[in-house]
Amino acid sequence: MAVWDPLFLMSKVVVQNVAVSIDGYSAGPDQDTNNPLGVNGPDLMAAFFETKTFRDQHGLEGGENGIDNAFSVKSMAGKGAWILGRNMFGPIRGPWPNDDWKGWWGDEPPYHVPTFVLTHYAREPIVMKGGTTFRFVTEGIHSALEQAKAAAGDLDVRVGGGPATIRQFLDARLLDELHLMVRPIFMGRGEKLFDGLDLRELGYVCEKSVPGERATHLLIRRND
């Protein structure tokens, strides 16, 4: 039987490189400008933050080049569009006070493709360096996915998170594949990835488990 590999299954809706703690959390509590991933959130993402891929994205030298990095390389390849929840785009809640906030990533975000941000409040698109254009979708996940697929063409659409956004796509059975990085830590507080979901009932199965340097990588697909 062929080995399952997300790179070989194109034109999919995927989640990749999303970290989960042993106690099920995928984001820390109390997100703000000083804690983009919530309090203790960086502990969750060490299997990405310590890789050469992440350091290259930020113009830094070094970084680990093992199994975790190989998954990080795959997670950034073959993407024609991204979908982000508003909390992943920034810490601002409610109506946009102005157009100053343009994401956590500076002038050149790492996406380099059309990126659709779910929000309840309309905003004009933002064109960034490197090919990223943030487009703000107020009509929900189905509209965002329709627009993202149209933009992506034959390439994958990656749902970047956060946890609430991923839960919505799972609950609607819109995700084809998930790659989770299970970190050997306890968060204690935060936002749980699968809270309120029955993944077995929704038809998701874990096909492969791969131990990495800082996380165990789980490869999950929707069983149609």
Ranges of the chain with pLDDT below 70:
1-10
Q: What is the pLDDT of residues 122-161, one digit of tens each?
A: 999 999 999 999 999 999 999 999 999 999 999 999 999 9
Mean pLDDT, the chain, whole residue set: 94
Number of domains in the chain: 1
In a domain, residue 213? The reply is: yes
What's the CATH number where 195 sits? 3.40.430.10
Paired strand residues for 68 = none
**Phi-psi group of 161: left, alpha or beta (phi > 0 → left; psi -120 to 50 → alpha; rest → beta):** left
Structural domain contains residue 3: no
Q: Is residue 211 part of a domain?
A: yes
- What is the residue range of 162's domain? 9-27+37-92+107-222
Q: Is residue 194 part of a domain?
A: yes
- The verdict on residue 99 lying in a domain is no
Residue 101 lies in a domain: no
Q: Is residue 2 part of a domain?
A: no
